[in-house]
Amino acid sequence: MSASVKPVRLDMDRLIDDRRTRIIVCCGSGGVGKTTAAAAIGLRAAERGRQACVLTVDPARRLAQSMGLTSLDNTPRLVEGVQAENGGSLHAMMLDMKRTFDEIVEAHADPDRAAQILANPFYQSLSSSFAGTQEYMAMEKLGQLRHAEEWDLIVVDTPPSRSALDFLDAPQRLGRFLDGRLIRMLTGPAKAGMSYMRVLNAGFAMMTSVLTKILGAQVLKDAQTFITALDTMFGGFRERAEATYRLLQAPGTAFLVVAAPESDALREASYFVERLDAERMPLAGLILNRVHTSPASRLSAARSLAAAETLETQNGPNGKGATGPRYYIAAAALRMHAERMHLGKRERRLAEHFTSAHPAIPVVEVDAQPEDVHDLDGLRIIGTILSRQGS
């Protein structure tokens, strides 16, 4: 296909050293390394002198522990073990979606009403299971942290959604939900003036009986109570979502799309890049994570396989030939090397495909580490790799 296009290199240190950068958002599909990248960037920024705060969503247990994230209390905590010679600091918090939702209710309703809403089963299921709630809450929390002015750089990890686009779609989806027909119907009678009530009542009574059959009386009552109470906060939700959306478009924000060198993840990354562009959101670049390279890349896959075959034939069946079982192990290692070279080649092709479709997007590659990244040392290594390619 196309001749290989060399990607522009992403200069991570320039991005994190630039004081105008106030928010970095790590997006991407599930399992590609968003949480790892966000934590590694936060740590590096802190060690280079910034007052950084990482908002993580689903850190693996060991990583969370190593950052001191043992409780889900929605407050950023100072991370111990950060090198502070440059005057920086790192705070981290784990997003508790339900807690954030509760806090909004508490902040926007009087105590009695808040208690009523929080205890409402409909609210409880909405706040923990509504599709997109977590994305919405991540944005909500980001708005709060940014507003607090305690940090000069906030690094945001995004929820483990199937699609990276969910993050951008969440506020609208919540808005659509609140504006939806069912919600209108439920809130309609409560909002309508008395003179309309009589007219509406007949129709509503019929609808109610249908809904009662479908949902059950208690659920319907719960839903009505909750929605009526929520109504007072309705505008608030919308306004804040819009404010956060504008914050994401502001020049101080940088999106980093994280992808593994696999076709699904890169296709998703492409969609995301196009969406950001369409919505005029500032994209800083692509992190290509878990790239497989080989320390012995001069030995080609073909030669390596040929050598394995030679060893195996010389050795005869069952490894009992004159050359002994040691050669079997050598042959297996050669085959593994060949596989890794093939994988590396496939990954390179996929990366080139992305670059030829989006030639202006800066890219940084992070190689696959021999084991999971689960502590500050591991994060520091990722941070160094992320920055080594800066031009």
Ligand X SMILES: Nc1ncnc2c1ncn2[C@@H]1O[C@H](COP(=O)(O)OP(=O)(O)O)[C@@H](O)[C@H]1O
Q: Which span sits near ligand X by CB under 6 A: 79-87, 146-154, 329-337, 363-371?
A: 363-371
Candidates 25, 34, 134, 211: give the one binding ligand X (CB under 6 A): 34
Question: Tokens 């297996």 label which residue?
Answer: 332
Smallest separation (angstroms) from Mg ion to the CB of 161 = 10
Candidates 58, 103, 262, 375: give the one binding Mg ion (CB under 5 A): 58
Candidates 366, 376, 379, 386: give the one binding ligand X (CB under 6 A): 366
- Residues 161-200: x where in contact with ligand X by CB under 6 A, - otherwise, as a string: ----------------------------------------
Question: Tokens 């296909």 label which residue?
Answer: 1
Candidates 372, 377, 384, 388: give the one binding ligand X (CB under 6 A): 372
What span, in angstroms and rounded, lies between the C-alpha atoms of 57 and 30?
12
What span, in angstroms and rounded, lies between the C-alpha atoms of 85 and 81?
12
Question: Tokens 């696959």 label which residue?
Answer: 368
Verify binding: residue 289, ligand X, rule CB under 6 A.
Answer: yes
- Judged by CB, which is closer to Mg ion: 68, or 319? 68
**Type and span of the H or E element at 290:** strand 283-291
Q: With contact defined as beta carbons under 8 Å apart, do 57 and 138 qualify?
A: yes
Candidates 21, 25, 36, 132: give the one binding ligand X (CB under 6 A): 36
Verify binding: residue 290, ligand X, rule CB under 6 A.
Answer: yes
Smallest separation (angstroms) from ligand X to the CB of 254 = 18
Q: With contact defined as beta carbons under 8 Å apart, do 9 and 362 qualify?
A: yes
Residues that bind Mg ion (rule: CB under 5 A) add up to a total of 3
331: nearest Cα among 303, 311, 315, 306: 311
- Residues 37-76: x where in contact with ligand X by CB under 6 A, - otherwise, as a string: -----------------------x----------------
Smallest separation (angstroms) from ligand X to the CB of 132 = 17
Candidates 8, 207, 368, 381: give the one binding ligand X (CB under 6 A): 368
**Type and span of the H or E element at 333:** helix 326-357
Verify binding: residue 373, ligand X, rule CB under 6 A.
Answer: yes
What span, in angstroms and rounded, lies between the C-alpha atoms of 56 and 34?
9
Verify binding: residue 160, ligand X, rule CB under 6 A.
Answer: yes
CB neighbours (10 Å) of residue 14?
Answer: 13
- Residues 23-42: x where in contact with Mg ion by CB under 5 A, - otherwise, as a string: -----------xx-------
- Judged by CB, which is closer to ligand X: 35, or 74? 35
Identity at 389, one-letter amino acid code: Q
What span, in angstroms and rounded, lies between the C-alpha atoms of 316 and 324?
9
- Judged by CB, which is closer to ligand X: 28, or 143? 28
Q: Which span sits near ligand X by CB under 6 A: 31-39, 66-74, 83-91, 244-252?
A: 31-39
Q: Which does 60 bind (CB under 5 to 8 A by kind): Mg ion, ligand X, none?
A: ligand X
Candidates 10, 16, 21, 35: give the one binding ligand X (CB under 6 A): 35
Q: With contact defined as beta carbons under 8 Å apart, do 253 and 224 qualify?
A: no
CB neighbours (10 Å) of residue 308?
Answer: 21
- Backbone φ and ψ for 59, nearest 5 degrees, come out as -65, 145
What is the token pair recorded at 100?
């954030």
Q: Which does 36 bind (CB under 5 to 8 A by kind): ligand X, Mg ion, none?
A: ligand X
- Backbone φ and ψ for 161, nearest 5 degrees, come out as -75, 165
Q: Which does 387 bind (CB under 5 to 8 A by kind): ligand X, Mg ion, none?
A: none
- List C-alpha distances in Å: 103 to 94, 113, 118, 160, 178: 15, 13, 10, 22, 19
What is the token pair recorded at 364?
């940084």
Residues in touch with ligand X (CB under 6 A): 28, 30-36, 60, 160, 289-290, 366, 368-369, 372-373
Residues in touch with Mg ion (CB under 5 A): 34-35, 58
